[in-house]
Amino acid sequence: MRHYVGGEFDASGVPFPLVDPVTGRTAGAVPEASRELVDRAVTAARAALRGPWSAWSPGERSQLLHRIADGIEARFEEFSAAECADTGKPRELASTVDIPRAVANFRSYADLLAGRAERSWHTPTPDGRGALNYTVRKPLGVVAVVSPWNLPLLLLTWKVAPALATGNTVVAKPSELTPATACLLAEVMAQAGVPAGVFNLVHGRGPDAAGQWLTEHPGVDAVAFTGASRTGTEIMRAAAARLAPVSFELGGKNAGLVFADADLQEAVAGTLRSAFTHSGQVCLCTERVYVERPVFDAFAAALAVGAKELSGYGPMVSAAHRDKVLGHLERAAADGGEVLAGGGVPRFGDERDGGFWVEPTVLAGLPEDHPAVRDEIFGPVVHLTPFDTEEEALTVANAGPYGLAATVWTGDVRRAHRVAPALDVGIAWVNTWNLRDLRTPFGGVKASGIGREGGDHSLDFFSEPMNVCVKL
């Protein structure tokens, strides 16, 4: 585990332990970046911005992104193993989602960049000769990319790829819990021919450490962050002091709506997936489901059976996160919540009993203002509530501070087109979940984020439009 600054790998800094979430054992160590190292990374990024990188054409940057994608693919198994070791997620999930999506992130932005065009206008003038106005896009400058622990490589590359595509330089700070694939990415960057200082990597914690020092640094021109809403608030406060633009994808307490006319089997299967993928440690996961009363009992029973039968799920990422999730479950049970499935810690009879596991859990019977229904848990926990009318379902789904994603299960196409746009979220899925087109806008409203990522939306954020007017 090393930093990567100015084209050189650096192992300096006091090491802190990496813990295997599957067993709870220490699995390695990561060097903590000093303030001086963070400053050197920003300085290197600034120097690279003014160097030969500034002369690279969009076509050359597009080719570079494809070489980076090729480099990840060439070390696919190594990336998959590192992602599983850090997060504890099943190998199938890493190899079918995380690593392929990282490759796709670089390829999609390479292709978008190669085919992108800017607009121009011929403007009349009083003398009849006219003027030509056209738009050019310039990089923002040095971009800080701070990524979370749940989808480490996927979400890191989701920001790094468009930032590099538009000519910026990057200082990345991955979560201290999951640094391994970021280290491998730095090696791929070097092998792909990324100029020194264009991509930099520093490791460390957040408050009073590398994360804070990076996002507060006066040499950082923009911040792209995925993580907790509370942390986003602190980063925004720091960025506001220098009016630096921010792109935030933050927390969620996502709702699912199941109508009586839905295919119940599909709705149950889809909700099992949306609630328990990566043990609920995905910002898009469904944590509260509202079911039309005529099918509530049947849906609840089927979902509980499905949750009890789940296998191959992973642990929580850390002991602290496991304890947070278990705290929510203990309070829910103490306050009269009905535990339909799970609710505790699984026992395996092997080394996994030292890890950070929580059973897939289905709750019911709690009021809307209860913390288990209102607050983001970010674990394998879903709460069920019946509803009677479409209006009631929309009211409860839209309540609360978050607005990231939602699912709607219905067999009525008119209802689907009526309900989905009425949800206060950035993305609504109808009769599916997490079906993504990387060209579409992604992000949340309210406490779930600022701005949109994906396709042209990311390219627009990471570049500044400039108008040129030429009198003819």
Query: Smallest Cα–Cα separation from 180: which of 285, 279, 104, 88?
Result: 88
Find out whether 420 and 430 touch, Cβ atoms under 8 Å: yes
- Residue 363 in 3-state DSSP? strand
- What 33-37 contacts at long range (C-beta under 8 Å, 24+ apart), as own/partner pairs, is 33/3, 33/202, 33/203, 33/204, 33/209, 33/210, 33/213, 35/213, 37/3, 37/5, 37/10, 37/12, 37/13, 37/202
Q: Which residues pair with 144 in a beta bridge?
A: 171, 223
- Position 363: which residue type? L
**CB 423 within 8 Å of CB 397:** yes
> What span, in angstroms and rounded, lies between the C-alpha atoms of 208 and 204?
10
Q: Which two tokens stand for residue 337?
A: 């919540």
Q: Which residues pair with 405 in a beta bridge?
A: 427
Structure tokens at 66: 């494809």
Burial class of residue 399 (count of CB atoms within 10 Å of its CB; 0-12, 13-18, 19+) = middle
| CA 105 remoteness from chain centre | 13
Determine contact, residues 401/447, Cβ cutoff 8 Å.
Answer: yes
Tell me the three state secondary structure of residue 376.
coil
Specify burial of residue 309 (Cβ count, 10 A radius: 0-12, 13-18, 19+): exposed
Distance CA 255, CA 401 (A): 12
Helices marked H in 51-143 — which ranges?
A: 58-74, 76-87, 91-93, 99-114
Catalytic residues: 249, 283
Give the integer Cα–Cα distance in Å for 141 and 163. 9
**Are the beta carbons of 431 and 409 closer than 8 angstroms?**
yes
